[in-house]
Amino acid sequence: MRIVIDADDAGLQLKHDLVDHLETLGVEVIDLNYLGKTPDASYPEIGYNLAVRIKDQEYDRGILICGTGLGMAMIANKVETVYAGPCHDVYSAERLRKSNNAQVITMGARVVGVELAKTIVDAWLEAEFQGGSSKPKVETMHNLENQSFHPETEL
């Protein structure tokens, strides 16, 4: 599994802590370090950059961190075929994958501590989409997304 991570200025320390944690577990994680290349960037550019890489299938899953996790989720969801959600507890992280098949998890460095963030990420990475009664809902989400990104053109 190819994991990618990035954060805005509010989430830098938590990002570094999670990279260290994942590497300790033997997980290959790539830090995009968008701020290192573009110091004036804010969460919209950082989140968009990661989400496009998920869409292009350069990576399987992504982790985005900002102050609350909300802004990063909003921008990542603007990229077609990318599904992201903020998680600040283990159950939500599991459901994000198992029920919603989301490839991107977002977290708020001002909302969760380091140890909880590690547990959340671990649960999300271990979870897989279950299908079942969630499958038609995810398919409906895809169809509605397609309508939004590709509205019918009247001639």
Active site residue 66: yes
Decide if 65 contacts 109 (C-beta within 8 A).
Answer: yes
The DSSP secondary structure of the chain, one letter per residue, reads: --EEEEE-GGGHHHHHHHHHHHHHTT--EEE--HHHH-TT--HHHHHHHHHHHHHTTS-SEEEEEESSSHHHHHHHTTSTT--EEE-SSHHHHHHHHHTT--SEEEEETTTS-HHHHHHHHHHHHH-----GGGHHHHHHHHHHHHHHHSPPPP-
From 22, 29, 50, 66, the catalytic residue:
66
Residues acting as catalytic residues: 66
